[in-house]
Structure formats: structure tokens, C-alpha cells
Structure 1
Amino acid sequence: MKFEYQQLISQNQSIDELELQSFEMSIYLLKLRIGNEQGMLYNGNELMRFNSTQQVREAFADIDVLQAVMVHDSPYDEMIGNPAKSGASLKLPFSLQQPL
């Protein structure tokens, strides 16, 4: 499923889960779940990419998000020549509230 950012804004639709996927600590992509549908967030025909967590907070300031998490999968083991780990990625709660 493909979610279009402008449609989410115009329809004022509630998001059940927003999963912020962190790559190299400066590239963020979003996976959304609305009802039984799940998919990535797009801006037109391209994946919507964010360069900071603050950009994500600003983009979703006016959208109702029930749960938000950040997922980070570290390539450290592979970088040092170890086999890729088979365990799950690190998944942490993520606040969409603006920091004070």
C-alpha cells in the first residue's frame, strides 16, 4: 500500500501507527498503518524522506497519530565482518510532541 502525504493532510485521517525507520541517523522513512492497511509514505511518486526527527514532528503536527515508534537497524555487525544478526531491530516509542 502507498500512502500519499497530501491526501492524509486533506482527509484529516487518523493514523493507527506511524513507524519511523531510521537509516544512518540522518535519513528517515515512514511506514504507516491505517486500519488493516499498511504501507510507506509517499510525496507524489517518490518515498517521502525526512532528514531529522524534527521534520517528522512538524509534518505530523496536525494529524492524529495513535502510536508512533522509531525503528533502528544497526549494520554494525556486518561492517566489522560478522554475520548479519538474526534478531529484531531496535524499536522504541517515539514522541510526536514538540520538545520544549
Structure 2
Amino acid sequence: MNYHRIEHLNRQDVHIDELVIHSFEMGLYLAEVDFDNRKAFIIDDETGRPKKFHSMDQVKAAFGEATIRNAYLSHQSAYDEMVGTPDKVDNTLKVPLFGSAEPG
């Protein structure tokens, strides 16, 4: 499993190509980083699992030293899982927070 650690990325000499903040219900966020042509989630050193953030400000603070070229907020709606609706389709909303690239 690919992963990144904050202490390796939160430095002034690091240039992150893309940061995607995945938003989940109840104010839970996971950070996915594309750095050095490797896209992976930030892990928690104590658990070895993806690190949970509880606000966008917490994510921003965690990467306060690094240079981030493009950042996005990503969210998937659960509304398409209702009874009687067609099969699930990808309904991911990817909103640019800053940067020059368009969401893909």
C-alpha cells in the first residue's frame, strides 16, 4: 500500500503537485497527496491507517510549510443509494480550492 507521512512532506523544499481533501460525513476528512508521481493517502504514524482530520483548517495547518500547486475538496453524495433509484454512478464533486488545473 502506498502512503505518505506528513513529516516527510511538510517542509519548505517540498512541492506537492496535488492535494485532494476527501470530505466524509460528521466532519471527517482524509488527505490524498500526489507527490513525486506517487498518489497516496497521508497515514497516522500511531495506527498505520489513513490520518483523520476534523476540519479543513487542520489539513491546512498540517501542510503549512509545503508548497501545494493544486488543491481540491472532494465529496461523494450518498443520496443515490436510495431505494428505487437507478444503479449507482460516480457522483463525486471535486471543487478546486486553489491552483491552476481544472478538476479531472
Shorter-chain TM range is 0.7 to 0.9
Q: Is the 8 A contact 2:16 2:69 kept in 1?
A: yes
Partner of 1:27: 28
What are structure 2's unaligned runs of at least 5 residues? 99-104
Note the C-alpha offset of 1:9: 2.6
Aligned-partner SS, 1:66: strand
Structure 1: stretches of 5+ with no match in the other structure? 96-100
Q: Does 1:94 align with 2:97?
A: yes
Aligned residues: 94
TM-score of the superposed pair, with normalisation by structure 2 = 0.79
Does the C-alpha gap of structure 1 residues 42 and 11 become closer, same or farther in structure 2, counting only changes over 3 Å?
A: farther
Amino acid at match of 2:55: S
Sequence identity percentage: 32
How far residue 87 of structure 1 moved from its aligned partner, in angstroms, is 3.2
- The within-5 A match list for 1:18-97 is 18-24=19-25, 26-44=27-45, 45-78=48-81, 80-81=82-83, 82-95=85-98
More helix by share: 1
CA RMSD of aligned residues (A): 1.9
- State the Cα distance separating 1:10 from its structure 2 match: 5.3
Q: TM-score, normalised by structure 1?
A: 0.81
